[in-house]
Amino acid sequence: MANFDALIEIVVKGKIKEAKGETQKLLDSGISAKEIIFNGLSEAMKIVGDKYEKKEYFLPQVLLSAQTLYQGLNLALPKLDKTSADAAGKIVICVVEGDVHDIGKNICKALLTGAGNTMFDLGRDVPLKDIVDKAKTESAQIIATSTLMTPTLAGMKEIEKMLKEGGLKGQIKTMVGGGATSPDFAKSIGADGWGYDANEAVRVAIDLLKK
């Protein structure tokens, strides 16, 4: 089992100048980008989240850790292995309006790209109408949205409503994820799928593309 302690400490403590070097060291030693992302970088962010909840960390520290994480993530993401996908489609992905948390969305996008899908990434804090419009113009099969904040969950429900009103529900499938969501929430708004993490995002997308 690879040792990610150094990378985790670098991200948690926001040692921004050291993140690239440590990530590169791990990659050079033959550890997969996926392991680095899930067992190193994401784990570090969980610790940062816990510290924020315990009020040991405040927003400036969280922001510094996020910036440090991105130094490593930007090195590791392009090195993710391509997986052979049973089905590959066109997917619009973004973080819904009102929310700027985009680390998880970016990891999902990278894995979905690796699985052979064509991704249309609209970024973060994206107006709901733009999401549906993009899916229409690109004839996407799936809209994948992310949010980590409770107040912005309503936007995901609104997307379902917009699809229904436009007669597109069923034709364009939806999948939701991110810390504020849950399988029950996804069901309650009529989303077609929910995923706990980026690995599940790939599995759910494959399922939805078969339907």
For ligand B12, the binding residues in 185-204 under the rule CB under 6 A are: 195, 197-198, 200-201, 204
For ligand B12, the binding residues in 45-64 under the rule CB under 6 A are: 45, 48-49, 52-53, 59, 62-63
Q: Is 170 in the site for ligand B12 (CB under 6 A)?
A: no
In whole angstroms, give the CA distance from residue 189 to residue 180: 14
Q: Is 101 in the site for ligand B12 (CB under 6 A)?
A: yes
Q: Are 68 and 15 in contact (CB under 8 A)?
A: yes
Closer Cβ to ligand B12, 105 or 173, answer by number: 105
Tokens 């993401």, residue? Answer: 77
- In the bound complex, what is the minimum distance in angstroms from residue 42's beta carbon to ligand B12? 4
Name, in order, each residue with C-beta under 8 angstroms of 147's C-beta and a sequence gap of 6 or more: 95, 96, 98, 99, 101, 153, 155, 156, 176, 178, 180, 181
Total residues contacting ligand B12 (rule CB under 6 A)?
A: 37
- The DSSP code sequence of 89-117 is -EEEEEEETT----HHHHHHHHHHHHTT-
Closer Cβ to ligand B12, 22 or 97, answer by number: 97
* Token pair in block for residue 78: 């392009």
**Which positions lie near ligand B12, rule CB under 6 A?**
42, 45, 48-49, 52-53, 59, 62-63, 66, 98-105, 107-108, 144, 146, 148-150, 175-180, 195, 197-198, 200-201, 204
